[in-house]
Amino acid sequence: MRGKVVCITGAATGIGLAMAHAFAAAGAHLALLDMDGPALLTACDRLTHDFPDVQLMSASTSVQDEPQVAQAFEAIRARWMRLDVLVNNAGLSMNAPTLELSGADWRKAIDVNLNGTFYCARAAGRIMVPLGQGVILNLASMYGVVAAPERAAYCASKGAVVMFTKSLAAEWGPLGLRVNAIAPGYVRTQLVDELVQRKRLDLQALQRRTPSGRLGTPEEIAALGLFLASDHAAFINGHIAVADGGWTANGYI
């Protein structure tokens, strides 16, 4: 990845920050986007401390804001005149009984998880297609592959990301691009910890339900992302890579 330009959304924390560290360690130039400006600055400070030679730019960007996305990607084009990899990581959880789910929360899940993925992928494609190369990695979820109760908005949005990924792979593959998705299971991030604290998730029950007996780590998802973005995965296109410790393989609850 040395010298390649990698854009990561939702890069300030969790899986996005782990992706940034993985790609920086591999020698990539980084464009980091996140709506949380202070957290993004902290992340950039950590990265420049750990990787003094990294070329880095950041932009406080909400992926559901189409003009903000366009502005951020134009800044990437202006700095490097290219984009090699997009990691479409920004997203949110929506865990609530459907009878209590408001229209506003439904729209928020779709706006961030699906529309944001579309806006960023389209902006990246407009840079990549003229160059005849590029890799897009969309962060879906195991709940885009299998369903669960009280997650209607989340499952719907991530399931749509899965099909969006396959559609782009079929459309842009002949143009030299690869488009894949990563579908993580439960990963120990700040988001999961907050859901546990709110008693929306039972950590011990999740561990028991997972055949591997534990939650994943952001670094494990980042390692998968680094592989899928690399030339080692040059013939992988339109694939949904599930990393869930065996959750979706285990039909017995």
Q: Are 65 and 111 in contact (CB under 8 A)?
A: no
Determine whether 103 is exposed, middle or buried from the number of CB atoms within 10 Å of its CB (0-12, 13-18, 19+): exposed
Phi and psi at residue 140, to the nearest 5°: -95, -135
Residue whose tokens read 């604290």: 197
Of the residues 119, 154, 186, 252, which is catalytic? 154
Q: Which helix (H) or strand (E) holds 44?
A: helix 37-50
Q: Are 202 and 210 in contact (CB under 8 A)?
A: no
> Is residue 154 among the annotated active site residues?
yes
Beta strands in the chain (DSSP E): 5-9, 29-34, 56-60, 85-88, 134-139, 177-184, 240-243
Pairwise CA distance, residues 237 & 168, whole Å: 10
Q: Are 11 and 22 in contact (CB under 8 A)?
A: no
Pairwise CA distance, residues 126 & 106, whole Å: 29
| Biggest distance spanned by C-alpha atoms of the chain | 52
Query: What positions carry a catalytic annotation?
Result: 154
